[in-house]
Structure 1
Amino acid sequence: MAYTLDRDPTPESPRLGAMTLHPAPESVPRARRWFQKFIAPHNPACSVEDCALMISELVTNAIVYGRSDEPWMVRVEWFREGTSLRVEVHNPGFPASVRLRRPDANDAHGRGLLLVDSIADTWHSGPSRFGGTVVSFVVADAWPS
């Protein structure tokens, strides 16, 4: 299967969904569509479109900056933590290479994390539990308390 989506329906787990994508440009709109489809039954009060936009930016970065000598995938997971939504994007890149840039007006690239920084309540990068890098964002008050 080229693309997979898995969900963890156990009530003990805060994970609402996950998808695994090939590191290819067509995975970016696919991630956005799948997230929008599979978050909808959970009725978040936050802007699903804003979250999908941030996922698009992080999946794009994962594809551009992910590095491995072996075949690899981009993994996206989303969790409900109390009233917050947390989204993680994993790739085999190097955690130290994730940085917030301040591009000049004429720069064609470099605004992905800046966009996430301006929309999300918080974001984080570091080592992924799958190896490589994870970049995550949190939207507070995604559900009523």
Structure 2
Amino acid sequence: MTYMIDRYPCEDSPRLGAMTLHPVADSVARARRWFRKLIAPYDPACSIDDCVLMISELVTNAIVHGRSDFPWLVRVEWFREGSSLRVEVHSPGFPAHVRLRRPDAEDAHGRGLLLVDSLADSWHAGTSSLGGTVVSFEMADAWPH
């Protein structure tokens, strides 16, 4: 399997990096490792651990819920917008299927977006510019003004 990692060290570009992952379970750990490595030079003030946890949840959701009749990939991109860090996870499927659930204590699944909702300053789900669905989160004040 091949994976694509993009790095954009240019300060003029708001996109700091991106990765393209196969929709397999091993990609979740790969996303965590590569995000940590690629965001480190930018030294954001927000919790990298929180970002990694949210990326893990969103990539897992993308793999589990992504749907296509053709081979597909998960795309993770992260951006600096002013003092904020925004992370996007793109996958095939319908944005209308993304919803915040409130699972019962005995439910084994369904807490990913609830976790994102509690850790991120904001989050959004909608139609991806790449086709399919994008779920993103934002961490405000990741860098000084």
> How far 1:22 moved relative to its partner?
0.2
1:132 aligns with 2:132: yes
SS at the partner of 2:110? coil
Q: Distance in 2 between matches of 1:12 and 1:68?
A: 35
Q: Distance in 1 between matches of 2:47 and 2:12?
A: 25
1:53 aligns with 2:57: no
- In structure 2, the residue matched to 1:115 is 115
Q: Distance in 2 between matches of 1:8 and 1:141?
A: 21
- In structure 2, the residue matched to 1:16 is 16
Q: Distance in 2 between matches of 1:87 and 1:24?
A: 20
> How far 1:12 moved relative to its partner?
3.0
1:31 aligns with 2:31: yes
SS at the partner of 1:77? strand
* Number of residue pairs matched by the alignment: 145
Q: Distance in 1 between matches of 2:83 and 2:37?
A: 20
Q: Distance in 2 between matches of 1:118 and 1:107?
A: 19
The residue identity in structure 1 corresponding to 2:136 is S
Q: Distance in 2 between matches of 1:89 and 1:115?
A: 15
Verify the 8 A CA contact 2:62 2:89 in the aligned structure 1: yes
Q: Distance in 2 between matches of 1:42 and 1:13?
A: 13
SS at the partner of 1:69? coil
Verify the 8 A CA contact 2:7 2:38 in the aligned structure 1: no
1:89 aligns with 2:84: no
> How far 1:2 moved relative to its partner?
1.4
Q: Distance in 1 between matches of 2:16 and 2:10?
A: 9
Q: How does 1:61-80 map to 2 (within 5 A)?
A: 61-80=61-80
SS at the partner of 1:89? strand
Q: Distance in 2 between matches of 1:68 and 1:52?
A: 26
Q: Which runs of 5+ in 2 are unaligned?
A: none
Q: Distance in 2 between matches of 1:11 and 1:93?
A: 33
Identity across aligned pairs (percent)? 77
Q: Which runs of 5+ in 1 are unaligned?
A: none
Q: Distance in 1 between matches of 2:144 and 2:101?
A: 33
> How far 1:42 moved relative to its partner?
0.2
SS at the partner of 2:58? helix
> How far 1:40 moved relative to its partner?
0.3
